[in-house]
Amino acid sequence: MGSLYLSRGRCILRQVFSGLPTAPIMLQRPYSLDVSAQLLRTEGFIDGRWVSAASTFPVLDPATGEEIAKVSNCGTKEAQDAVNAAYKAFHLWKSHTAKERSILLRKWFDLVIQHRDDLAKLITAECGKPLKESLGEITYSASFLEWFSEEARRVYGDIVAPSAKDRKILLLKQPVGVASIITPWNFPSAMITRKVGAALAVGCTVVVKPAEDTPLSALALAELSVQAGIPPGVFNVVPCSREKTPAVGELLCTDPLVAKISFTGSTATGKILLRHAAGTVKKVSMELGGHAPFIVFDSADVDKAVAGAMVSKFRNSGQTCVCSNRFLVQSGIHDAFMEKLAKAMDGELKIGHGSEPTTTQGPLINTRAAEKVEGQVADAVAQGAVIVRGGKRLEGSFMQPTLLSNVTTDMLCMREETFGPLIPVVKFNTEQEALAIANASPVGLAGYFYSRDISQIWRVAEQMEVGMVGVNEGLISATEASFGGIKQSGLGREGSKYGIDEYLEVKYMCLGGLSP
């Protein structure tokens, strides 16, 4: 059971649990969510005001299944109000100078850093990831507000040499308008700032629909936006339950006042939103599913490859869109890699509640996610795969980190994105064989490979059909670098200097009638 009370301006949720009987972890001590009361917001945020809805929906701790908070269950009325507010605010916000917008974004960045610890606790509570990773996410999240506060003043147009002497050609960059921002649960803070930072920097206004599992982080950002001085209507948040998500999402993608949609999530959902957007031909950017290959060539440094595999696969318990899913290891190095990887898993991974300082592997987001991983393991074993480590579903949404050998390409884990702590390893013989397997996917977000052969590095990097490549590196996300995929992994880019272009239109201005 859980209880919530206030103490000197802080919200404290205390939970006591009887434990996970089939797991190597026992959640027996009380767990507390101790955060500033002003950051634990549970209402929608529209036009600078906190708005209650007719009903609420629960936010659960995925490690325990216990309720953290009840959040306003906004529907299409609230979503429409948010769009209207954003549209009204757009005409004022775009008239702010780039410097003025830059200063406000910088203030927002400063506040996120100031409240880093509390924001991280919210992520761990509603998402389940270990607190160390949540702290890292907040730093990453804040970095996009900082980056785009700086990029706001670097939105340049062009003056083009005309073919006629009596005219001048100018290309202007202008904000597209209201943007609907639909974000996932696995990075509940950073996926918002990566989109919103760029949008606000150029003069767009936004309506954010956070994932139903993790609305608290979005609402905390809204509170800090007020403190930073972001004007009413510029940043709006409409939380809603899983049941109301289809209707709210459809409105945000079809309303004629919305000019832009930015979505991060599954490819299947992205296709639905694209169909919605087609009716009014909206500008769209999407970061969709991945199924990243991780290739280890005979020329690799085995120790570095193992370290890269560990960070790429087990960050957030394998629940990242760029985490490695399909491991391909060349025959000459295969046995050494498997032995060292198994030892690394034994020595470095510890399952537990995310608030425990020693935890490296928290729960999956819900029981459906654990069931999916369990099903992939069962399918692989039924077809001849061998469990080297782990393999067991634990209580609730916990899953043992699992290493499989003797994997073939027709197994489910090699055909579908896992989103969990599973490493299936396929042995290959030639570079061409590895590339053929790696590229045999309808999606292409990220890919990784390890090699010390410089010629091979260039060949493979250019031939991998992905939007991002990690060469001898398992952790590639960076504020300064473009983020996005090819094939069915999405459209457009986020972060970097290119991310800001997703919220701009180019207007051609011809000034004629000039005397030569």
- Catalytic residue numbers read 287, 321
Contact 424, 326 (CB under 8 A): yes
Angle between helices 131-151 and 190-202 (to 10 degrees): 10
Contact 65, 396 (CB under 8 A): yes
The residue written with tokens 């025959």 in the block is 331
Residue 396, both tokens: 């609730």
Sort 377 into a burial class: Cβ within 10 Å, 0-12 / 13-18 / 19+: buried
Helices (H), 174-320: 190-202, 215-228, 245-254, 267-278, 302-314
Sort 450 into a burial class: Cβ within 10 Å, 0-12 / 13-18 / 19+: buried
Residue 262, both tokens: 């930015």
Q: How far is CA 109 from the centre of its chain?
A: 19
Cross-strand partners of 103: none
Residue 7, both tokens: 């103490």
* Separation between Cα atoms, residue 237 and residue 210, nearest integer Å: 7
Q: Where are the beta strands (DSSP E) in 54-116?
A: 56-60, 67-72
Q: What Å distances lie between residue 385 and 298, 410, 434, CA to CA?
A: 23, 11, 19
